[in-house]
Chains A and B, each alone.
Chain A
Amino acid sequence: MLTLLRDLRRLRRHLDLAPPERAASLAIRHVDAGSCNGCQHELTLLSSPYYDLQRFGLGIVASPRHADVLLVTGAVTSRMHEPLLVAYAAMPEPRRVAALGDCALGCNVLGTADTIVGPVDTILPVDLRIPGCPPTPEVIAHALLGLISPLPVAADDPRRP
């Protein structure tokens, strides 16, 4: 196992990812409302060594009660309509909703009229739209980081531009 850990350390040194510029954190609750699983697979890789989103304070939490953001993938199916509303209702304020991927935004959705309720913004107030089929981990990371305000800099800080 030490070999793998050493390899990972080397990979991280080689990738030389930028240090965090923001000093906040964001707890994300993901809900799959009827996706093809592409968005989930890209989302999963956000925690791989190539992106390591945890270093920015971004984390997936197990309950909507712990979440700042509800991240929804897929066109909302008739069967996921209710569970999606329940998850949203369980979130504390302030809460935000992000629609991830073209299906969640209502673009090029495949399905029948009676199985698809509609894009996420017909059901919940959407604050962040992340287009793509599926969006790449870079695009997802960039969009999510936009929800965290940059590190505040004091007026007398010499680093202030």
Chain B
Amino acid sequence: MIEESYREEIAAARAEGWRFAGLHATSDGARVRTLLADQAGATRLETVVAHEGAVPSIVDLFPAAGWDEREAHDLQGVDFAGHEPLRPLVDHDLRVERWAVPVRGHDTYQVAVGPIHAGIIESGHFRLHVVGERIIHLDLRLFYKHRGLERAAEGHTLDEGLAYASRACAACAVANGVAYAHACEDALGLTPHSELARVRTILLELERMWNHLNDLAAVCSGVGLAAGNQHFAGLTERARRLNAKLTGHRFLFGAVRVGRSEITLHRDDVCAAADEVTALRSEARRGWRELRFNRSFQDRLPDIGVVDAAAATRLGAVGPAARAAGLGDDLRASSPRLAYAGFEPARPERAAGDVQARTEQRAVELEQTFEILERLLDGRIGPATATLGAPGQPIGIGRVESPRGATSCIVERRDDRIERLRLRTGSYANWPVVAYAAADNLLPDFPLINKSFELCYACADR
């Protein structure tokens, strides 16, 4: 596509209701591809050829493309005309004024947090611009954990590439792995057999189960409610033990394969797992009821870290954070490759987009997850495959709803080798939303606001 028509095409797609789902440059920086998605789950890829190393920016049309363009500039050397200033993102420039937004005025000062945090937390740097106790602006500097996974995967076979996508992050290993497997299968023209769809859906929901339990424990700890934290931490432990029992690994590592599944489970083991899910369901409900009616807990949550529906749409928020703002986005409602027939996105009673709504969203979604698991954990699980149903293509796209939101994976291949791997996770999409949510709140509320998103650094940094 030539440069001028690229922007026109993107603008027209936006007017038709298509939304931004990712942007990446090819390894040589010669082309830039924009992934768009519609509400029904359809995707399209718009490619523009770089002219003298530059392509037009679309950040004015889709602010959500901001990080993607900055990353493509830092890693593939592409310039984005119209993206001013194009601040470094993955590159760590020592000069603060290069990567942080200048904040001027009376009594403004900066609070620098990280990269090493005071607890068991991943590494990343927050630069808070503050007046008194009020946060004026937050600049995030992540990518301390950048391991170059996408580049390292290039040249490997499609089977070998799975490790690079799924091991980007332990908390989203299944979601990233299934997104990668879907992308490969899309490129190879494979359609998963219904048993394969069932096994993967079980794995995805097992992952969501422990993550959401963990997130509720995290919010309790953010509030300082030890009893709630311990209750949900205990349930997280039980959920991980269940993972180990079913797949031999507490984080379900190695359970996802490209084009097949090798998990075999006897009917009795599946039945026992369903019983444990039911037990966890009743324990989680008890815990949530306690939290709901605990005044000192509930008083801390409303009206802080607000991201309303308009802001969530503009910033491209995904997952529980978007649904807590009232958006009905959940890729599970449009996943023909998975066993989510009849799924409808859940929303909290009060979709205000604040810490309270995001917390409640986890509890509401946990109910759905328990229900899906109880339904699918019925009868033996056997090896499963995908069947050849369509012609192969050089580029495959896979999209999966991870515990933190829509995760897109794009695989560009030559025969059986990876030419370019791109993984855009829910955390990557939502980090700029955290920065937005923090502004205008009190500094001591920031840890709680951050925990209400509970994003991964690892799958953003890759």
Could you list which residues of chain A lie within 8 angstroms of chain B, going by C-beta atoms?
A: 1, 3-5, 7-8, 11, 30-38, 40-45, 47-50, 60, 62-63, 74-75, 77, 79-80, 83, 87, 110-112, 114-116, 133-134, 136-137
Q: Which of A31, A63, A110, A134 touches B251 (beta carbons < 8 Å)?
A: A134
**Please, how many angstroms separate the alpha-carbon atoms of A77 and B145 in the complex?**
6
Q: Which of A4, A38, A49 touches B228 (beta carbons < 8 Å)?
A: A4
Q: Is B233 an interface residue (CB 8 A)?
A: yes
A50 vs chain B, min Cβ distance (A)? 5
Would A112 and B234 count as touching, CB distance under 8 A? Answer: no
Residue in chain A with minimal CB distance to B172:
A37
A37-B456, A48-B230 given; A111·B149 CB < 8 A: yes
**Please, how many angstroms separate the alpha-carbon atoms of A46 and B168 in the complex?**
23
* A133: chain B residues within 8 A (beta carbon): 253
A42 vs chain B, min Cβ distance (A)? 7
Residue in chain A with minimal CB distance to B122:
A32
A8-B227, A32-B122 given; A87·B290 CB < 8 A: no
B23 vs chain A, min Cβ distance (A)? 22
* A40: chain B residues within 8 A (beta carbon): 120-122
Q: Mark interface residues in B42-74 (1 if CB within 8 Å of A CB, else 0).
A: 000000000000000000000000000000000
**Please, how many angstroms separate the alpha-carbon atoms of A11 and B168 in the complex?**
35
Q: Mark interface residues in B213-236 (1 if CB within 8 Å of A CB, else 0).
A: 010000000000101101101101
* B286: chain A residues within 8 A (beta carbon): 3-4, 7
Q: Which of B170, B214, B234 touches A11 (beta carbons < 8 Å)?
A: B234
* A83: chain B residues within 8 A (beta carbon): 115-116, 123, 144
11 CB contacts below 8 A, A to B, read A8-B227, A34-B123, A34-B144, A36-B170, A37-B457, A43-B120, A49-B233, A79-B115, A83-B123, A111-B149, A115-B148
Residue in chain B with minimal CB distance to A48:
B233
Q: Which of A3, A11, A43, A45 touches B236 (beta carbons < 8 Å)?
A: A45
**Please, how many angstroms separate the alpha-carbon atoms of A19 and B293 in the complex?**
35
Residue in chain A with minimal CB distance to B283:
A7
* B147: chain A residues within 8 A (beta carbon): 34, 75, 77, 110-112, 115-116
Contact residue range for chain B?
35 or more
Q: A37-B170, A116-B148 are in contact. List 15 more A-B contacts (CB 8 A).
A: A1-B227, A4-B227, A7-B286, A32-B122, A32-B145, A32-B457, A36-B173, A41-B251, A49-B234, A63-B118, A74-B145, A75-B147, A77-B146, A79-B144, A110-B149
**Please, how many angstroms separate the alpha-carbon atoms of A116 and B144 in the complex?**
11
**Please, how many angstroms separate the alpha-carbon atoms of A87 and B118 in the complex?**
12
Q: Which of A33, A50, A77, A110 touches B152 (beta carbons < 8 Å)?
A: A110
**Please, how many angstroms separate the alpha-carbon atoms of A31 and B290 in the complex?**
34
Q: Mark interface residues in B234-252 (1 if CB within 8 Å of A CB, else 0).
A: 1011001000000000110
Of residues 277 to 295 in B, which have CB atoms within 8 Å of A's CB atoms? 286-287, 290, 294
Would B148 and A37 count as touching, CB distance under 8 A? Answer: no
Q: Which of B123, B143, B253, B290 touches A32 (beta carbons < 8 Å)?
A: B123
Residue in chain B with minimal CB distance to A116:
B147
Residue in chain A with minimal CB distance to B123:
A32
Q: Which of B145, B225, B287 touches A35 (beta carbons < 8 Å)?
A: B145
Q: Which secondary structure characterizes the binding site on chain B?
A: loop
Would B148 and A31 count as touching, CB distance under 8 A? Answer: no
**Please, how many angstroms separate the alpha-carbon atoms of A8 and B287 in the complex?**
11
**Please, how many angstroms separate the alpha-carbon atoms of A41 and B286 in the complex?**
24
**Please, how many angstroms separate the alpha-carbon atoms of A7 and B173 in the complex?**
32
B366 vs chain A, min Cβ distance (A)? 17
* A1: chain B residues within 8 A (beta carbon): 225, 227-228, 290, 294
**Please, how many angstroms separate the alpha-carbon atoms of A5 and B121 in the complex?**
26
**Please, how many angstroms separate the alpha-carbon atoms of A32 and B120 in the complex?**
8
Q: Is B458 an interface residue (CB 8 A)?
A: yes
Would A60 and B120 count as touching, CB distance under 8 A? Answer: yes
* A115: chain B residues within 8 A (beta carbon): 146-148
B91 vs chain A, min Cβ distance (A)? 10
A4-B231, A50-B234, A60-B119 given; A136·B144 CB < 8 A: no
B377 vs chain A, min Cβ distance (A)? 23
Would B251 and A38 count as touching, CB distance under 8 A? Answer: yes
Would B144 and A77 count as touching, CB distance under 8 A? Answer: yes
**Please, how many angstroms separate the alpha-carbon atoms of A3 and B230 in the complex?**
13
Q: Is B350 an interface residue (CB 8 A)?
A: no
Would B92 and A41 count as touching, CB distance under 8 A? Answer: no
Q: Is B151 an interface residue (CB 8 A)?
A: yes
**Please, how many angstroms separate the alpha-carbon atoms of A30 and B115 in the complex?**
12
Residue in chain A with minimal CB distance to B294:
A1
B179 vs chain A, min Cβ distance (A)? 16
Residue in chain A with minimal CB distance to B114:
A83
* A112: chain B residues within 8 A (beta carbon): 147-148, 151-152
Closest 5 CB pairs of A and B: A38-B170, A112-B148, A111-B147, A62-B118, A48-B233
Would A37 and B169 count as touching, CB distance under 8 A? Answer: yes
Of residues 167 to 181 in B, which have CB atoms within 8 Å of A's CB atoms? 167-171, 173
Q: Is B428 an interface residue (CB 8 A)?
A: no
* A11: chain B residues within 8 A (beta carbon): 234
